[in-house]
Amino acid sequence: MSSEETNQTKEKLRDLKIKTSNLEPHSTRRRELGKIADEYAERFYDGIQNGKAYNTFDDCIKKKTDLPVPETGVGANEVVDILENEIIPPGLNLASGRHFGYIPGGGIHSAAIADYLAAVTNRYASVYASSPGAVVLESNMVQWLCSIIGYGEGAGGYLSSGGSIANLTAVVAARDDSGCKSESYSRMVVYLSSQTHHCVDRALNIAGLGECVRRKISLDDRYRMQPAELRKAIKLDREKGLIPWMIVASAGSTDTGAVDPLNELADISEQEQLWFHVDAAYGGFFILTEEGKQLLNGIEKSDSAVLDPHKGMFLPYGTGALLVKDVEKLARSHRYEASYMQDARSAAGFYSPADISPELSKHFRALRMWMPLQLHGVSSFRNALQEKLALADYLWSEFREMDEIDVSPKPQLSIFMFRWNPDAENVNELNRQLHKKMVSDGWVFLSTTEIDGNVFLRVAVLSVRTHIEEADELLMTVRRLIKEMKASNNVA
Ligand SMILES: Cc1ncc(COP(=O)(O)O)c(C=O)c1O
């Protein structure tokens, strides 16, 4: 390059540096943007108490949020304005304490701040050689989770984006541990129930096991798998020449909150030499409470377990965990060779998340779990979970006392179902209408389910912001809406 060409190149590079400087703003601009974002966050928090749990929306939402990507940037106020008024309000407010649908969580502030710091510092949380602090933090969190469910030395796991991916990774580890080759997949049998979360079904398909036999074991009157039926099914399958392989138990099923009899299932899996997996994505953290500990007794005997901190620890979405009793089995499923990763192999004595999970580049997830635990202590979480159990009991008792309301059995954890059952022929339709009315009213939010052909409304108490006041609002709203439906002659 001639010196003139070099000068021209340098001139061009200086010009480009100026043009990209807004990607790396100085402190004053950073603080300005931070202030605008923080003020919106405060308005959001302030609005939760008096805002609806659900805001109806129509198809215009697509038009309103389908904004052009600008060639040059627009102002921060304008951007936050779109976020605040167009993007965030429609649909379910998952931060609301009056959200009793699906599985709530809430999203705690300290985890949001941790997320901000994780993004600012942008550690490479999957490889020890790159970010040892972040990797050790994740390892510590995983070890803490292993200890609360009673796994001993040799156990490990990783923080995933959620329960679905964690269950998928468990299925993959169990598949590889079976030693079966693909020609046997159609003879492998997984034992589960009608209460098993659908992500397990999907995980089997994704893991290449679409053809395996899914044996649904019948349930008792509290929606729990019956061990005697499981034993029978395994025996029959062996007689047929099939390959019993894995038991998937629920420790808090999504629909009914049922906890399968883990101890008995663990014994069967040991006798039959099957992989025992516990999906405790919803119910796992209740093990921090005395009642939960008794109910989840036996989880320590499992080969793998899933817990979702974005449910039971009230973290923002994007945090699940897979724990495996023998971490070597997880490592075997995730081994890889890549010359550009040779510097990343460490002799740290434990696995980096990249060695035992599918992700490489990874959000610094552990920080949003570690920081709240440090700031608030485990007792705050234990008390909050205790509160949710007590609120579910309270609500169940109140619904049971209400006229024309049928309730499901007493909640084992914090989920139960109820159904309006007046003297009418179209009870399912009435419950669908009641739910529809509730959704358009929006003050509280419940989801529905159908069990044995009967439509139920589900009450799931797990939002960090649900307290006695919100529970009473739910009761009042249901009473009010039923009264309105009766007044408008919707009921025969
Ligand atoms: C029992 C259970 N397992 C798995 C999942 C899936 O978890 P995620 O939504 O985090 O992927 C859920 C979600 O509600 C669940 O309740």
pLDDT digits (tens, 9 = 90+) for 445-479: 999 999 999 999 999 999 999 999 999 999 999 99
CA of 167 to the centre of ligand 1 (A): 9
Closest by alpha carbon to 280, among 407, 400, 170? Answer: 170
In sequence order, the 6+-apart residues with CB closer than 8 A to the CB of 464 are 97, 105, 106, 107, 108, 314, 384
The answer, yes or no, to whether any atom of ligand 1 lies below 6 A from the CB of 163, is yes
Structure tokens at 75: 């102002």
Query: Please, which pLDDT band fits residue 137 given cuts at 50, 70 and 90?
Result: very high
Structure tokens at 177: 């541990």
In sequence order, the 6+-apart residues with CB closer than 8 A to the CB of 259 are 224, 250, 251, 252, 253, 283, 295, 296, 412, 413
Tell me the per-residue pLDDT of 67-95, one tens digit each, with 9 for 90 and over.
889 999 999 999 999 999 999 999 999 99
Q: Are 104 and 444 in contact (CB under 8 A)?
A: no
The answer, yes or no, to whether any atom of ligand 1 lies below 6 A from the CB of 458, is no
- To the nearest whole number, what is the mean pLDDT of the chain? 95
CA of 200 to the centre of ligand 1 (A): 9
| Token pair 């550009």 in the structure block, residue | 340
Best of 160, 193, 282 to mutate for ligand 1, by most ligand atoms within 8 A of CB?
Answer: 282
Largest CA distance in the chain: 94
The answer, yes or no, to whether any atom of ligand 1 lies below 6 A from the CB of 320, is yes
**Does the pLDDT of residue 215 top 90, yes or no?**
yes
The answer, yes or no, to whether any atom of ligand 1 lies below 6 A from the CB of 101, is no
Q: Are 99 and 456 in contact (CB under 8 A)?
A: no
> Rounded mean pLDDT of 264-280?
98
Closest by alpha carbon to 369, among 307, 315, 289, 311? Answer: 315
In sequence order, the 6+-apart residues with CB closer than 8 A to the CB of 397 are none
CA of 348 to the centre of ligand 1 (A): 33
**Does the pLDDT of residue 99 top 70, yes or no?**
yes
Distance of CA 207 to the CA centre of its chain: 20
Minimum CA distance residue for ligand 1 atom 7: 163
The answer, yes or no, to whether any atom of ligand 1 lies below 6 A from the CB of 284, is no
The answer, yes or no, to whether any atom of ligand 1 lies below 6 A from the CB of 414, is no
CA of 203 to the centre of ligand 1 (A): 12
d(CA 304, CA 173): 9
The pLDDT value recorded for residue 346 is 59
Q: Are 225 and 260 in contact (CB under 8 A)?
A: yes
The answer, yes or no, to whether any atom of ligand 1 lies below 6 A from the CB of 145, is no
Nearest ligand 1 atom to alpha carbon 283:
1
The pLDDT value recorded for residue 343 is 61
Nearest ligand 1 atom to alpha carbon 250:
1
Nearest ligand 1 atom to alpha carbon 164:
11
Closest by alpha carbon to 126, among 318, 331, 366, 361? Answer: 361
The pLDDT value recorded for residue 349 is 76
The answer, yes or no, to whether any atom of ligand 1 lies below 6 A from the CB of 164, is yes
Q: How many CB atoms neighbour CB 132 within 10 A? A: 14
Nearest ligand 1 atom to alpha carbon 280:
1
The answer, yes or no, to whether any atom of ligand 1 lies below 6 A from the CB of 199, is yes
Residues shown for the chain: 492
The answer, yes or no, to whether any atom of ligand 1 lies below 6 A from the CB of 282, is yes
